[in-house]
Amino acid sequence: MVALQIINKILSDKNIEIYADNNLDKDYFVGYENEIEFITNHHAEYNQVPDVISFVENFPDFEILEVTESSEYLIKKIREEYLYYKSVGVIQEAATLLKTDANSAVEYLNNSIRTLELNINNNGIDIIQNADSRLNLYQERLNSKEKWYIGTGFSELDTILNGWTKGEEFVVLFARTGQGKSWILAKTLTNAWQTGNRVGYISPEMSPEKIGYRIDTLINHFSNSNLVYGRLEPEYNDYIQDLKKNDNPFIVATPLDFSKRITISKLRSFCQKHKLDILGIDGITYMTDERYKKGDNKTITLTNISEDLSLLSLELKIPIIVVVQSNRGGVKNDDDAGTPELENIRDSDGIAQNATKVLSIRQTGAGLEFGIKKHRDGAMGNKVIYYWDIDRGEFKYIPSTDDGVNKEHKEEVIKTVKKSYNDKTEVF
Amino acid sequence: MTNYIYKFDKETCWYKNSCSKYNTLECDSNCLRYMEIHYLMYQSEIPLMRQNPKILVPVKEDINNFEFLKSIKDDIVNFVKNGESLYIFSENFGNGKTTWAIKIMLKYFDEIWAGNGFRCRGVFVSVPGFLTKLKENISRKNETFEQLRIKIAESDLVVWDDIGAVKLGDYDHTNLLAYVDNRLINQKANIYTGNLSDYNGALSMALGKRLASRVWNESSQVRLVGPDWRGFDGSITDY
């Protein structure tokens, strides 16, 4: 009935705004799809709404009514009806799934309900009239940075990236295999944990114990090989006893914790259950796309997942960092050729498109180079190099005159380093 | 170079005899100077046996020449910054041309290692060997050679050792001229060593007039007159 009322209102007011301004489409006009399509097409072609005579000529059975209801009511009502029609389909599908697998049904329901909600809340925010909320946010950030940002664990990198933002931060770390992506993820999450945050680490390839040894190495610089192979590390016992005194958790989960299907819905529950402040995922390709439709290829799937992760970050207001492998094109033979580029992200452009920050990693010389390939709120194209003692989990900034670190800081480091050698005689 | 592997060995450290940190707790693989110099040396392709500074002893007639070369060495950062070139030549063999060229390059590494960030900054090119590889690369593309070409184009300083030792054919000439020209246009520094002194005569004959003009006319020139010192094992000066 409400669809009929809206069409009558458009015809009588000779104005299509009620339709256009509220982001309606023909799917909202169940049973009147052809009528609304005729009106919109006519409007698009002649820049005006058809008059009643032309309209009835095409739809002789259409009932012409006088509409006195307000636009607000009609919009609210048509959205409610639309939600009803969509919900019926979702609930029926969930009911079918429930008969065989309750987990799949709930997972489907979780994901689908979010889609339904998005359709009824699309009014946006007037950023002019609501400018005060922005000002308040800015002032809060100005006065308490640690509340809004989590350091990367690499102080020089932080001078460029300003750390990870709590909320609206979807970070991609990418490199070829064997370059140290997982270690870097562990390092940045360890730093987040050390600064009091609640951390989640999704590890599709390594056990929680193995990740644990890495974290121990990063925190206390134990030899990682000694821990992994059971060789003597005298202070390890005391360290573990001290470690347990910390209240904030560092949760490591493997695919088994997600019934082998890591989906956005499950990640949402995981983050909410543990009240996480930051989430790291060691391999986006291990995730399952809840929006998958028959025929979707890997590129579409990964684009969907990255889009959903980006929205999840926004929804939960936590940074989400994912590790992605670069393709073969990302292997630079020339040592001076730099880190892999965005086009080298394997299987999907969409991943980089949805990311707020993209960092590529490669080993160079005796160091590890971060290339900043995307930075939504800052300059791109910068690099920073660190010496990395993989066994001891130690990272040391290697200054480079062409890196992106603050010039004064860099020059100070160069001067101090050079002076520290204090050679007795000239060598060359 | 694709296969670079960082390996720390304090006993072969270039600064072993002068570094205040040698054999202390700080003398380990974390040494920033060691790692940067190790990388620069590897990328430079300076032969291993020539990577350590060698003391040269001038004959009386070469003292001024040595002083001049030392002045370039001492101001090498500006020499490179200004994109200057130097031709060290002598009719005699083994009297220190290549050693001087390498000494100057090593001094450059010593000046710029802090803040280098694992970049290739200088390359040593043995011209006869380079020309052979250039021809081999026509029929069979060699990745290492391709990397060398890039390094020659991009490095701050290139030592062209023994230029003019072999008479250039048309192909050699065209290519070598292109490499040298490209560097000069981009104001990148070069040090040439060779045995040919007569610009209008032997040098132009060997390199062709265009290349000879670039090597000779766009460089400072130093003619060493000392005898062959190869095998000498002593030191009386600190050049």
ipTM: 0.82
Residue numbers of B between 62 and 81 with CB closer than 8 Å to A: none
Domains (ranges, CATH) in chain B?
49-223 (3.40.50.300)
Distance CA A43, CA A39 (A): 6
Contact between B137 and B109 (Cβ < 8 Å): no
Within 8 A by CB and 6+ apart from A106, the residues are A94, A265
Give, to the nearest 10 degrees, the angle between helix B97-112 and helix B63-74: 20
Contact between A239 and A220 (Cβ < 8 Å): yes
Distance CA B31, CA A309 (A): 41
The alpha-carbon gap from B152 to the nearest alpha carbon of chain A, in Å, equals: 12
CB-based burial label for A138 (10 Å; 0-12, 13-18, 19+): exposed
User: Scanning every residue of chain B, which has its alpha carbon at the shortest distance from the alpha carbon of A398?
Assistant: B117
Contact between B140 and B148 (Cβ < 8 Å): no
Residue B89 φ/ψ, nearest 5 degrees:
-135, 160
Question: H/E/C letters for each residue in A85-106?
Answer: HHHHHHHHHHHHHHHHCHHHHH
Question: Is residue B205 helix, strand or coil?
Answer: helix
Distance CA A179, CA A190 (A): 19
The alpha-carbon gap from A391 to the nearest alpha carbon of chain B, in Å, equals: 12
The alpha-carbon gap from B132 to the nearest alpha carbon of chain A, in Å, equals: 22
Percent helix, strand, coil in chain B, to 5, is 50, 10, 40
Contact between A371 and A349 (Cβ < 8 Å): no
The structure's pTM equals 0.76
- CB-based contact (8 Å) between A410 and chain B? yes
Q: Which of B17, B19, B151 sits opposite A421 (nearest CB)?
A: B19
Q: Running DSSP on this structure, what letter comes out for residue A253?
A: E
Size of interface A-B (CB pairs under 8 A): 102
Domains (ranges, CATH) in chain A?
2-116 (1.10.860), 142-420 (3.40.50.300)
The alpha-carbon gap from B117 to the nearest alpha carbon of chain A, in Å, equals: 4
Q: Which of A365, A423, A426 sits opposite B6 (nearest CB)?
A: A365
- Asked whether the beta carbons of residue A417 and residue B21 sit closer than 8 angstroms, the reply is no
- pLDDT one digit per residue (tens) for chain A, 428 residues: 899 999 999 999 999 888 887 778 888 998 999 999 999 999 988 889 999 999 999 999 999 989 988 888 899 899 888 888 888 888 899 999 999 989 888 888 887 877 775 555 456 678 888 888 888 888 888 888 778 899 999 999 999 999 999 878 999 999 988 889 999 999 999 999 999 999 999 999 999 999 999 999 999 999 999 999 999 999 999 999 999 999 999 999 999 999 888 999 899 999 999 999 999 999 999 999 988 888 888 888 899 999 999 999 999 999 999 999 887 555 554 455 566 666 667 667 788 889 999 999 998 888 899 999 999 988 888 999 999 999 999 999 999 999 999 899 899 999 999 999 988 888 88
Distance CA A81, CA B68 (A): 92
Give, to the nearest 10 degrees, the angle between helix A208-220 and helix A236-243: 100
Q: Judging by DSSP bridges, how do beta strands B122-126 and A164-165 pair with one another?
A: unpaired
Question: Is residue B27 helix, strand or coil?
Answer: coil
Q: Which of A364, A389, A422 sits opposite B20 (nearest CB)?
A: A422
- CB-based contact (8 Å) between A406 and chain B? no
CA-only gyration radius of chain B, Å: 18
